[in-house]
Structure 1
Amino acid sequence: MKKMMTSAKVENLDKVMDFVLKEASDQGFADLHRVELAVEEIFVNIASYAYDDTDAEMEVEILCGQTRGFLQIQFFDKGAAFNPLAEAAEPDLLAKDRPIGGLGVYLVKECMDEVDYRYEDGKNILTLRKKL
């Protein structure tokens, strides 16, 4: 697994995407569009919501590589504990007057084969897996 550390700021999205897409390509993974969509959603959410303005250490650690036949991407942050899998309700995609937003976690779960969350040692750990 390769590791990247960066500040949890939206302006670092391009660096994160370059890192993940390079690692995915190096593993021979071809379905980059779905990976790109999921990674963008997760990183932007961390950058936008995990930390408040008083947090000194607004970092995100990202691990990416192959494990057990999957491309695995893990996000670690020390922001407020938040399980997006438990907190996000399934959207009603057929509703005509559906409110804007609320599709991010749904899209991540649709794009990836496995999505897991845990809070451990003061860190949110979100793991995305896509079959190679």
Structure 2
Amino acid sequence: MAHIPIEAVPYLESAIYLPMLLIVLEKDYELIEKGPFKLKRPYVHLIEEAKKLAEKDLQNTKSYLKKNSLKVVQGKRDDLFTEYLFYYKQVSEVRRYSNIRLRNRVEELLNDYLSSSGSSRKSSSL
């Protein structure tokens, strides 16, 4: 019987987290655009760059999943847990994730992507 390859799990989880991250970035972008910021462009640029990086990673994730016959489907959800079904060839595996864990992981990714997009810009000396 085939099992979901252990090296595929990070890609399957990325297929869960990256869409959530993109939703957060889009909502934050809208809030900054509508908000009372004096200088919006630096924040908008930072979010746009983070979105580009996350979209590229999500594209790579989807490509990996397709190439390796993998699929993720959200299952049942309640106040505490969200269930995801991982499919590989003829095998399915159910994994439950704490909603707090999902939120915390997306927050970690948000920090990572914003840091990466901010560090990619060269700082100008005064």
Structure-1-length-normalised TM-score: 0.31
Determine which structure has the larger helix proportion and give its number. Answer: 2
Q: Which has the larger radius of gyration?
A: 2
Determine which structure has the larger strand proportion and give its number. Answer: 1
